[in-house]
Each structure stands twice: as C-alpha cells, then as structure tokens.
Amino acid sequence: MGLTRRDVLNRVFLVGGAAGATLILQACGSAPSTPSSAPTSAPAAAAAPTAAKAVGTQASAASAAPTPVPALQIVGTVSASQAQVPGPDIVVMPPKSAQPVTLRFHMRTGGEKSEPAIYQYRPQEWEQATGNKITLEPIPGDANYVPKLETLAAAGTIGDLTWGSDGHNEYRHLVQFKVLEPLDDYLQKANQPKTQWLKPVVDTLTMDGKFWSMPKAGYPGYSWIWVNLKMFKDAGIAEPPVYGVTHDQLAQWANTLSKGSKDRRDVYGLSLYVTGNYGVTNGVRQFGGDLISTDGTQSLVNEKPFLDWLQWAQKLITVDKVHPFTQDIPSGGLQGMFAAEKVAMVQADRSFQFQVRNAVKDKFPWKVIAYPHPDNSKGYCATVAGHAMTSASKNKEVAFSFLYSIGDRRFTYLVGKTQGYLPGRVDDLEDLGPYANDPFVQLEYKNSTMESPMWLAKNLRSFDIDTTLTNQLDLVWLGKAQPNQAFADDLKKQLDADLARPE
C-alpha cells in the first residue's frame, strides 16, 4: 500500500460504535456459528505462505477458501520460529490469590460467535495463564444496553467488565452514571503507556481528563462493499478496482446485476447501509457534507450534500429497487443471501468479513472494495469502541489484567488472524505476521487514512437522533415521502429538537 508507520500514527480515529436501532431495510443478520476450534498460539514460519493464501479474498486470491482454524494451544513462550508474531504470554499478570477469581463480563449478545478472538480465544489464554475465570453475560447491543447496566449498578448486581463505545455515547453515559472505573492509575502501575494505542482512539475514550476504556476498535465504519466476482463476470462486467469506484458506477452495476421483476427481485444488485447515524453520516460525507454540526447543536440535513445523497440512495432503493428489504433477507442474514448469490454487492461493517468467510467458503471468488470516496468527500465515519472496568468490581487488579490482555499485541494478532480486521494499536500491522497481507486488512488500513471524526451530539442524545433518522427516512425508502427540500427542512426541525433536549 505504500503506507508507513507514520501513516498509522496519523490515522484519525475519534468516535463511533455499532448502531443500536433496529434496521428496517438492511437486517444485521444472525451471528455466524462459532468456529469449531481456536487459532494456534503462533504459526510456524513455514506455514506463512499458506496462512496468507487462506485469508486472501482480493483479486487473484479471491477464490481461496479460509483454512480451518486449528485447536488452541497455549505454549507459554514464543520460539525463534514464531518470533514474527506475539505469543500468548500475559503481559500484566494479576495478583495471586488463595482461590481463583471469576470475573463477570457484560458484552453484546452474539459477540462470542461473531468475534471469537475477543470473547473466546484471548480469554481462554488469559484463564489458562492466570488460573482465573471469565463468565460472559450477554446483553442485547441496542438502546437498552446502557439502561440495563445502569439498572444492574443501581441494584448492586453489576459485574466486573463491560463493552462500550462512543457510537451512541455508551461509555460517556456510563461515566456520567458513575458505573465505570478510570484506568489511568492501573496503566501507570503496570508501566503501560497509552501511547501504544493510536492517540485519537485514546482521546475518544477519555472524558473529564480520565481514560475509561481499553481500546477494542478504531476503524472507518461502513466504508467497504463486498462483491461477488462470479456475478460480475457472468454479467460481462470487468472486475471492479479496490479504490476509485464512483457512485454512478455503483448504481450502474447494481442495476445490471439485479434480476427479475422490480416488485420481487430474484437477485438484488446492491444492499446499502442507509440506516441511522452511521449509515446516513457515512453516505452524506461522501457527497461532501455531514449530518450534525461540529459543535453538536445543529442538524445539517437541509443542505445540498444531504439531498444529493438522499436522492441517489432513494433512486436505487425506491425507483430501481435493486436493494433488498427486510422481508427479502432470509433467516441466514445478508451473509447467507450473499453466499446464495441472491445479492451481488453488500455495504456493511467490518464484522461482515468474518461472516462472509464462513458463509461463502470456496463457492465463488469475491473481494472487498472501498465505498465511493470522491475528491470532494469528507472522511469515512470513525468508529471507536472498547472494554471497561466497573467501579463496583471487587477484583479490580484482576479485572485490569484481563482488560489489558484484550487490548495488547497478542490480541491484535488473534483479531487480525481470525476476524480479519484491526483493533487500533500503533503497531497493528507489525503484530499480524503473514496476516498483515490480508487484502481486507490492507483495505481497512488504507481507508483509515481517509476517515474523520464522527460528530458528537452535545447533549449525548445520539440514540434519539438515530431513531428520528430511521423513522423519517423509512418513509422515503418505502415511497411514502419524496426526497425533496421540504422533506429535508422538516427533518432538520425534528433533529434540531432532539439536539435541543437536555442531557
């Protein structure tokens, strides 16, 4: 890619998270089955070419099937032949105790399946090295996640650890409710500087001068499109480039690749992500605008870039009907629909990469390309998330040891190898060994140099904005409202009302 370590350090990751509102047009899809086994502690040097081929999905490597993940082996040390990747050692060991400690870990439902490196593989290594245990306590990752934690905290029944992001200000709300424990003193005691993660990521997870969450992710959300290369070839369309695709090209391909009556397509050309804060913001930014002002007090949806994006998307969804609605998506989700060749292109978040690998296997060649990013565009939406310690935990030193293990170099390696994406450390690519050559990892790395901070509602009412956007835009997608200036003006009034509410 020609990117240097300085490029990594200059990447802009400021805010973000997973959208919590229920999707009307694009279903999230069910979590994939948990892999039957976990990754080895480190691949032998001789296995590097095979490993690189297994994760390749772009261009000539597009048809390669992922290699089954071998059983987890805790080796304790890293041999000379394995020196290219971090070993499973626990850098910050917890204090010894007479009895093993069990930590309760609140996280989003389905994460143990969709992100096994984070919620299974690294925790298993930590458990074996320390003798302590982790108990996962899933909570649906929607608008009720934070209220659920606040209720548990008020009742005195909250656990030791939790997921949080800034996509809907989750961790900020938890800080205000005094649910979380700041991590600065623990990092200092362990002699672990915050500079090992990208500064903007750390800054995002900092509030009131304190650092509240160990970074899990910092990446350009929804900036990718998964493409079925076989369908392109069968339709006589040249293989699309990874970068430089335009909105017009995307629309043309979507129409060409769609099959059957518009009223009920046999095959859909393109599934767009146009729901809620991230879908809308990312779309509008690629037309040169934004959703919310930089001071977080005013909506910008009455301006030309929003209307340009809205009219482009509305034509594809409502007029051309190349985009599937919820009722068109089978129980296997969009990944199953993509694997069944019922949708040719899918815009999705990076977790879709893991799902596609498991769903498609070697059925057909596919690749991932960058979502249109013309010269006049603004940056892709930055997405930041992390894991935090609760202030109520009675085992904070132990909890911090585990938190650090799901943010260290080994964590980067496991996530890159099994999930195919980057967590947001300054040494991301250096930690991945042969998996740094994964085409999707390279694409994510490149796109992260083209992202910019997500807006922040001054009153932290991101969920309100998300709900208003989804409800009102559904009227457009369903053909019940026209994408004109009057619609945009009315939407601005509603969003400004959300932004004017007290915290």
pLDDT in tens, 89-130: 999 999 998 899 999 999 999 999 989 999 999 999 999 999
pLDDT at residue 218 is higher than 90: no
Q: Are residues 204 and 298 in the same domain?
A: no
Q: Are residues 203 and 228 in the same domain?
A: no
Neighbour-count burial of 181, counting CB atoms closer than 10 A to its CB (0-12 exposed, 13-18 middle, 19+ buried) = buried
Residue 135, in any domain of the structure: yes
DSSP 139-173: E-SSTTHHHHHHHHHHHT---SEEEEESSS-HHHH
Q: Are residues 476 and 431 in the same domain?
A: no
pLDDT at residue 36 is higher than 90: no
pLDDT at residue 334 is higher than 90: yes
CATH number at residue 178: 3.40.190.10
pLDDT at residue 16 is higher than 70: no
Q: Are residues 135 and 177 in the same domain?
A: yes
Residue 26, in any domain of the structure: yes
Residue 271, in any domain of the structure: yes
Residue among 351, 383, 469 at smallest CA distance from 170? 383
Residue 39, in any domain of the structure: no
Confidence of residue 85 (pLDDT cuts 50, 70, 90): confident
Q: Are residues 310 and 444 in the same domain?
A: no
- As for how many domains the chain has, the answer is 2
Q: Which amino acid is it at 451?
A: E
Please give the share of the chain, as a percent, with pLDDT higher than 70: 83
Q: Are residues 371 and 228 in the same domain?
A: yes
**pLDDT on residue 448:** 86
Residue 257, in any domain of the structure: yes
Q: Are residues 235 and 277 in the same domain?
A: yes
**pLDDT on residue 451:** 87
Look up tokens 């998307």; give the residue: 313
Residue 49, in any domain of the structure: no
Q: Are residues 140 and 89 in the same domain?
A: yes
Confidence of residue 169 (pLDDT cuts 50, 70, 90): confident
pLDDT at residue 352 is higher than 50: yes
Q: What angle do CA 31, 33, 35 make, to 5 degrees?
A: 130
What mean pLDDT is reported for the chain? Answer: 84
What tokens appear for 23 in the block? 């999707």
Q: Are residues 21 and 167 in the same domain?
A: yes
SS3 of residue 84 by DSSP: coil
Q: Are residues 192 and 257 in the same domain?
A: no
Domain that holds residue 23: 5-33+78-220+381-452
Confidence of residue 396 (pLDDT cuts 50, 70, 90): very high
Q: Are residues 331 and 473 in the same domain?
A: yes
Q: Are residues 105 and 197 in the same domain?
A: yes
Angstrom distance (rounded) from CA 32 to CA 24: 21
